[in-house]
Every structure is written in structure tokens, then in C-alpha cells.
A = this chain, B = another copy of it.
């Protein structure tokens, strides 16, 4: 339920306005030197309040690691990550206590569990992904340092503004060169404008993140039901507001012919490679040694300031306007979530 993975297992806990957010990472190899600065770097990219296009809620998202590490190295024991919620404002949510916000999980959590922690979405909040990022960034760091596998995500689309490019691995400094995390500066400016316009309109935008992973060896994946592509889809669909996943050529290939999209094999330096990569680095559910390429679609943030029709849990129909802090577009902050979940999935097959 709250555990992802088989060999490398992430168990998540915590709520938006509870005391803590946490994660237990089990199965991580022993003997790896923990670089807390990289973990904190990824947490900082995810945390609220980091830029003018993000939510104004401020959280330090400072991570504590208090088990599974001894004398600076992992021991093979489960690693516990904990982040204190410093900006708990349960009172801000009292007026939402009985309201089912449109396109949120308020109603479904109540249908599922009978009760609901209404403070900022409780368990259904994207805030809980901070624990995933903490744990996943440790795996991402190991993949980079010990396996030469680099996971790089970036914003491909915000609202109607799209980056037209070949899927590439971009270095972190390029992605980080602007606050929307799009590797093309010109497109980034348009995206930022779009977000600011939505914000001014008390509205919200969605977008698409593309993730490219280089250095993955051929042979990862366990058909027929633990395909690498299935595991990636599963993990990505766990992220709040994600409504679509595609790999390589994705949905676009459905309009094309086999002769147009088949990836011809060649030999380069004695190794099989393909000239195109419409397969997105995965064939038959197993990596083929090319870059792994996938895209994740985010719907616009559900919380908006525009008035909306909705109901209460006693069946009353009301009009709702969100007030105060909300995030006009979560997509830029989701980049490290995609990267670290992808690292967890790869680690699960590789480590």
C-alpha cells in the first residue's frame, strides 16, 4: 500500500500538516557513503516556496537520517529519513473540514477510509513526496557514482507552451538554469510567463515532464509482469496529479506505421545500438542499452482561486473559492520527484 519496490523498498508515511514526513528505505546496499548534500539538493528542488512561481508555503525540508547509517556509510539495515513539518497550519483548513474540493482526493479518501485528515489534503497531499525524494535521491546518487547511470528530468511542456526537442540527457546545471526547469531558456521564459498569468488569474496549469536516463545497461526488466516499463508507469502514476505516462515514441506512434518507427539495429564499437530510439530504451519490457526516455503528464493543480461548484460531506451544494497560498503549477517542483522515483525503480532491478 505505502511501499514501492521489491528488492529496494521505499515505505512512506506522514501527512501534509502532521508533525513529520518520513520514509524507510530497505534493501539499499551496504558500504555506500551517504552524501547528505545531494539529498538536500533534491529536497530543495522539490520544496515549496523555492521561487516566485511556486506555492508561498515555506518549508525547510531538512532531512534527518537516523538509522541504517553508521560512521557515514550505509550498513544494509533499513535507512530512515525524517523531515519535520515546520509550517503546520491546521487552522487554515478548518473551513474545508466538510468540503469535497473538486478534483481533489477529499471525497475518495472519505469513501475509502470513512475518516479524513482534512489539513491540507492530509495523506493525499503532494507534501508526502518529500519522503520519496529523500530516499530516492540516495539511490540516484549511488546509480550515478557506482553504476554510471544518470537520471535527468526536465520540463517539456507547461500549459500550451511546449519544448520541441529530441529527448536528451541535460546536465543538472542546464536544467537548473531557470526556475521552470526547462533546458531551453527561450521556451522557459514563455513557460514562466504562462504560470504567472495563470497565477494572476487565480487559475492553474499542468504540463509534461520528460525524463532521460543514460548509462542503463541492456538486460534490465522481468517480463511478463515486472517489465521495466510497467514498473516505471506504476511509480509515475503514484505521483499526485499525474494522469498519463508514455515511453519513447508513446501515443504519437499510434498514428504511424511500423516502417516509420521501427528502430533499426546497428553495431557501434562492437555493441548493438539503434539509429532511432522510438522504443525509449525498452523493448519487450527490458532495457536495450539506449537512453531510457519517458514522459509524464500532469493535470493542472486542482486548487484554484476561481469559484467552483462543489458539495459538502452532508450533501450540501456550495460554491468554493480557494484563498491564500496555492501553487499555480507544480510541474517544475515535480522534476526531482520524477528523477528519484525513476532511480528507485531502476535500483530495484539493478541493485
Residues of B within 8 A of A26 (CB): 1-3, 11
Given contacts A266-B317, A300-B253, contact A113 B30 (CB under 8 A): yes
Task: Determine whether A223 belongs to the interface, using a CB cutoff of 8 Å to chain B.
Answer: yes
User: In whole angstroms, how far apart are the Cα atoms of A279 and B73 in the complex?
Assistant: 30
A263 to B157 CA separation, bound complex (whole angstroms): 23
- A residues whose Cβ falls under 8 Å from a Cβ of B: 1-4, 6, 9-15, 18-20, 22, 24, 26-27, 30-31, 66-68, 70, 73, 75-80, 100, 102-105, 107-109, 111-117, 119, 122-124, 128, 157, 159-160, 198, 201, 203-208, 218-227, 229-238, 240, 243-251, 253-267, 270, 272, 274-275, 278-280, 282-289, 297-304, 306, 308-311, 315, 317
Partner of A108, one of B10, B203, B204, B286: B286
Chain B residues, CB < 8 A from A201: 257
A223 / chain B contacts, CB cutoff of 8 Å: 1-2, 105, 109, 123-124, 238
Copy number in the complex reads 4
User: Chain B contacts of A12 at CB under 8 A?
Assistant: 78, 224-225
- Tell me how far the C-beta of A86 lies from the nearest C-beta in chain B, rounded to whole angstroms: 14
CA distance A300 to B251 in the complex (A): 11
Residues of B within 8 A of A306 (CB): 258-259
Q: Is the CB of B115 within 8 A of A238?
A: no
Instruction: Given contact pairs A2-B24, A11-B24, enumerate 17 new A-B contacts (beta carbons under 8 Å).
Output: A2-B223, A15-B77, A31-B114, A108-B282, A108-B287, A109-B284, A112-B219, A157-B255, A233-B245, A243-B280, A244-B251, A254-B299, A258-B300, A258-B303, A259-B306, A261-B300, A265-B310
- 6 examples of A-B residue contacts, CB within 8 angstroms: A1-B27, A3-B11, A11-B24, A15-B70, A244-B244, A254-B299
In the assembled complex, the Cα of A20 lies from the Cα of B77 at a distance in Å of 13
Which of A66, A108, A275, A310 gathers most chain B CB within 10 Å? A108
